[in-house]
DNA sequence: GCAATTACACGCGTTTTCGCATGTCCGCGT
DNA sequence: ACGCGGACATGCGAAAACGCGTGTAATTGC
């Protein structure tokens, strides 16, 4: 009736991963090892933790119980790791940052490069994604986010305000300018199935031509001349083949923040990055507002 | 920067055990293994967790940090184990009970024997000690305690009230009866450096002859005729060579309880023991009160 | 209806981990 | 001063854990 802590973690990963292979991937192990550990855990507890079904391992009630407790232990290790990281005064070793794909591509590359040059002993991992990584679970140490506030349990600094506006190809822009009453084709976000508010009333006719769930795709569609897209000023200005059109005057858009968990906010590497990022972004403010 | 959960546990045990050997004993490992795990933990974290001094391993600030978080994880595993145990509906496997030394010796032996006969598949461990074992940390599953209430987070059932009284050898008892004014020598608890309250006023002269921190020793001294001792009725009555003396009339004494953690209270083995214990103790009540 | 895929069990050879024996350093008491 | 015991380091052989390859059953896709 004595269970290894690592075996508890394995049980948790198997419940979470829903298959030996999934758990093994999360643990960085071969799936046979996961199977063996589960067998050992069940033997030492004398309780079945999983039902072996044809399509995989299905946790029993007891298995879920173990997994839930292990999850709390994992939260504890996350807290510990953050605490250790927050104490770390060195400018060596790994640092993971995350930012929206397009912000990295069009704005942040220089400051990332500058940081790597200045601190060659830091091995910087950049996770360019639009998903919000969980800083509590240490998926990243520092995040640059577009949002209205830094969020709970996170510490943040507002880097700049920004605005959005409407963009299209020069040809389409000219056509609309020539005939403001023609119907304007919009390319919009999938979950925002409407023409943007506050469009200039000189352009009375609109329709939604297509929707995407990804800004890269929206921009590509706009660059292909398929319609007008609303996007942050920095993005439209940095995109070849697009010009700003006056249909939608510059609108408020969520601010850009740099955020980190409170525990790691003061870590040397996190501070060093921030101290390079903040003045850099201050110098770039003109890109973001009209 | 990835630390095995078992290594965290090892760090905690080393901080707690204060030497490789102490930690190894707690973990059931060889001390070399502990040393290796600590070295591995430090390597993977890149932080010194212990200072190697000539007289052993001294935890650094970071080591204490790790140990504190591991302690919280341990509490979590304890909770889990109790939960699993509470779900256990079998009457097989280990069951650990604890009770005061003298209560086992003079009262409980028959019911313990009865239980072992009735449930031969349960391997019962009895921890006869006056220390209060920590039921939260699963040092025992069920405890029989002499106290005024079951205590926080524990569930309990009052088995019987009891009283204390004064006991001495028959010779000493006669001598005092012959001359109530002679000075009565008392043998008392070390931390209770006073003659018991509520002594019969017919015996006006008292002095404390000696103190002990252990009831077995007090009884032995009384049996050797060194003086009068206050003890629970059941104990004095069951002790060869002692008779009750009327100096101290029967006094209230803390009740006897059976207690267990709430999580394991309803476990099959715990219930089975309780269901044997409760009627047994009911039958023994006359032993405990005048 | 048959190939491809997913998910797992099993056996074998390798790597890692572990326990034991030995050696060193140091403080302590005689 | 010298022996003794506690606490740790080190090297070696044994044991445990692991990864890989193969085999099987059920499901999916064409």
pLDDT digits (tens, 9 = 90+) for A139-165: 999 999 999 888 778 999 999 999 999
Q: Which helix (H) or strand (E) holds A230?
A: strand A228-232
Asked if residue A271 and residue A138 are part of one domain, the reply reads yes
CA distance A12 to A18: 10
Residue A31 is predicted with a pLDDT of: 95
**A180-209 confidence digits (pLDDT tens):** 999 999 999 887 778 888 899 999 999 998
Q: How far apart are CA A75 and CA B155, in angstroms?
A: 29
Per-position pLDDT tens, chain B of length 290: 789 999 999 999 999 999 999 999 999 999 999 999 999 999 999 999 999 988 889 999 999 999 999 999 999 999 999 999 999 999 999 999 999 999 999 999 999 999 999 999 999 999 999 889 999 999 999 999 999 888 778 999 999 999 999 999 999 999 999 999 999 999 998 877 788 888 999 999 999 989 998 899 999 999 999 999 999 999 999 999 999 999 999 999 999 999 999 999 999 999 999 999 999 999 999 999 98
Residues of A in contact with B96 (CB under 8 A): none
> Between A and B, how many residue pairs show a Cβ–Cβ distance under 8 A?
75
From residue B187, alpha-carbon distances to A78, B197, B210, B247 in Å are 56, 14, 5, 14
What are φ and ψ of residue A265, in 5° steps?
Answer: -55, -40
- Statement to judge: residues B174 and B244 lie in one domain: yes
Tell me the mean pLDDT in the region A207-212. 90
Query: Please, are residues A174 and A233 in contact by the beta-carbon 8 Å criterion?
Result: no
Q: Chain B: residue nearest A94 by CA? A: B1
In CATH, what number is assigned to the domain containing residue A110? Answer: 3.40.190.10
Rounded percentage of chain A residues whose pLDDT exceeds 90: 88
Same-domain status, B117 and B235: no
B153 phi-psi bin (left φ>0, alpha ψ -120 to 50, beta other) = left
Chain B hits for A4, CB-CB cut-off 8 Å, are 6
Q: Considering only CA atoms, which residue is closest to the C1' of nucleotide C18?
A: B33
What is the residue range of A100's domain? 87-161+254-288
Burial of B202 (0-12, 13-18, 19+ CB in 10 A): exposed
Domain boundary among B53, B86, B119: B86
Which three-class secondary structure state does DSSP give residue B136?
coil
pLDDT digits (tens, 9 = 90+) for A228-260: 999 999 999 999 999 999 999 999 999 999 999
Cβ contact B80–A8 (<8 Å): yes
The reported pLDDT for the residue numbered B118 is: 97
- The DSSP element (H or E) to which A212 belongs, if any, is strand A206-212
**pLDDT greater than 90 at residue A130:** no
Last residue in a domain, options A55, A76, A97: A76
Q: Write down the pLDDT at residue A74.
A: 97
Question: Which letter does DSSP use for residue A121 in this model?
Answer: T
Burial class (CB in 10 A: 0-12, 13-18, 19+), B136: middle
Q: Which residue is nearest to nucleotide D27 (CA to C1')?
A: A55
Does A267 lie in the same domain as A240?
Answer: no
SS (H, E, C) B46-114: CCCCEEEECCEEEECHHHHHHHHHHHHHHHHHHHHHHHHHHHCCCCCEEEEEEECHHHHHHHHHHHHHH
Tell me the pLDDT of chain A averaged across its residues: 94
How many Å does it take to go from CA A53 to C1' D24?
14
Number of domains forming the structure of chain A? 3
- Cβ burial of A15 (10 Å; 0-12, 13-18, 19+) is buried
- Residues in B touching A81 (Cβ below 8 Å): 1, 3
CA A67 – CA A207 distance, rounded (Å)? 50
Classify strands A93-99 and A142-147 as parallel, antiparallel or unpaired.
Answer: parallel
Residues B239 and B277 both lie in one domain: no
Our CA angle for A192, A196, A202, nearest 5°, is 160
Q: Does residue A266 lie in a domain region? A: yes
* DSSP H or E stretch at residue A163: strand A154-168
Same domain assignment for residues B12 and B73: yes
Q: Which chain C positions come under 7 Å from a protein C-beta?
A: 6-11, 17-21, 25-27
Q: For residue B97, what are its two tokens?
A: 């009970």
Query: Within this chain, do residues A205 and A263 fall inside the same structural domain, yes or no?
Result: no
Nearest Cα residue in chain A from B65: A80
Put simply, the answer to whether B84 touches A62 (Cβ < 8 Å) is yes
Tell me which nucleotides of strand D come within 7 A of a protein CB: 6-11, 17-21, 25-27
- Residues belonging to chain B: 290
Q: Which of B136, B83, B85 is nearest to A65 (CA)?
A: B83
- Tell me phi and psi for residue B246, to 5 degrees: -80, 10
Backbone angles phi, psi at B4, to 5 degrees: -65, 140
Same domain, yes or no: B65 and B105: no
Q: Does any domain span residue A27?
A: yes
Question: Looking at residue B74, what is its pLDDT?
Answer: 97
A53-102 pLDDT, tens digit each:
888 899 999 999 999 999 999 999 999 999 999 999 999 999 999 999 99
Beta strand pairing status for B142-147 and B50-53? Answer: unpaired
Q: What is the CATH number of the domain that holds B78?
A: 1.10.10.10
Tell me, what's the pLDDT at B220?
94
User: Is A114 in the same domain as A51?
Assistant: no
Q: Are residues A48 and A63 in the same domain?
A: yes
- Kindly provide the b/e burial profile for residues A107-133, where b requires at least 16 CB atoms within 10 angstroms of the residue's own CB: bbeebbeebeeebeebeeebeeeeeeb
Protein CA at A32 to nucleotide C1' at D22, angstroms: 13
pLDDT of residue A196: 84
Residue B152 has a pLDDT of 78
Q: Which nucleotide is nearest to B27 (CA to C1')?
A: C18
Question: Which of B86, B105, B123 is where one domain is finished?
Answer: B86
Contact B33, B20 (CB under 8 A): no
Domain membership flag for residue A81: no
B204/B220 same-domain check: yes
pLDDT of residue B215: 92
The per-type count for chain A, helices as H runs and strands as E runs, is 12, 11
Query: Are B104 and B49 in the same domain?
Result: no
Chain A residues bordering chain B (beta-carbon distance below 8 Å):
1, 3-6, 8-9, 45-47, 61-62, 65-66, 69, 72-73, 76-77, 79-81, 83-85, 87-88, 93-94
């Amino acid at each position: 009736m004595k269970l290894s802590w690592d075996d508890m973690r394995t049980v948790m990963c198997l419940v979470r991963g829903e298959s030996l292979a999934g758990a093994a991937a999360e643990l960085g192990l071969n799936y046979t090892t996961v199977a063996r550990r589960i067998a050992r855990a069940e033997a030492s507890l004398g309780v079945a933790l999983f039902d072996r079904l044809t399509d995989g391992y299905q946790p029993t009630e007891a298995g879920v119980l173990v997994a839930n407790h292990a999850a709390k232990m994992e939260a504890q290790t996350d807290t510990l790791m953050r605490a250790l990281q927050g104490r770390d005064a060195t400018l060596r070793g790994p640092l993971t940052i995350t930012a929206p794909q397009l912000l990295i591509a069009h704005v942040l590359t220089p400051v990332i490069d500058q940081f790597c040059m200045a601190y060659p002993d830091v091995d910087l991992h950049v996770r360019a994604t639009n998903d919000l990584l969980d800083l509590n679970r240490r998926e990243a140490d520092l995040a640059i986010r577009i949002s209205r506030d830094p969020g709970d349990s996170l510490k943040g600094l507002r880097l700049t305000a920004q605005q959005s506006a409407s963009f299209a190809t020069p040809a389409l822009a000219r056509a609309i300018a020539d005939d403001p009453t023609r119907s304007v084709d919009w390319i919009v976000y999938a979950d925002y199935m409407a023409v943007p508010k506050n469009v200039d009333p000189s352009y009375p006719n609109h329709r939604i031509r297509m929707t995407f769930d990804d800004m890269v795709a929206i921009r590509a569609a706009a660059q292909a001349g398929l319609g007008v897209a609303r996007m942050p000023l920095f993005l439209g200005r940095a995109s070849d083949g697009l010009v700003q059109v006056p249909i939608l005057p510059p609108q408020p858009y969520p601010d850009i923040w740099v955020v980190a968990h409170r525990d790691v906010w003061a870590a040397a590497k996190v501070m060093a990055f921030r101290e390079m990022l903040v003045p850099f972004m201050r110098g770039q403010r003109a890109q973001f507002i009209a």
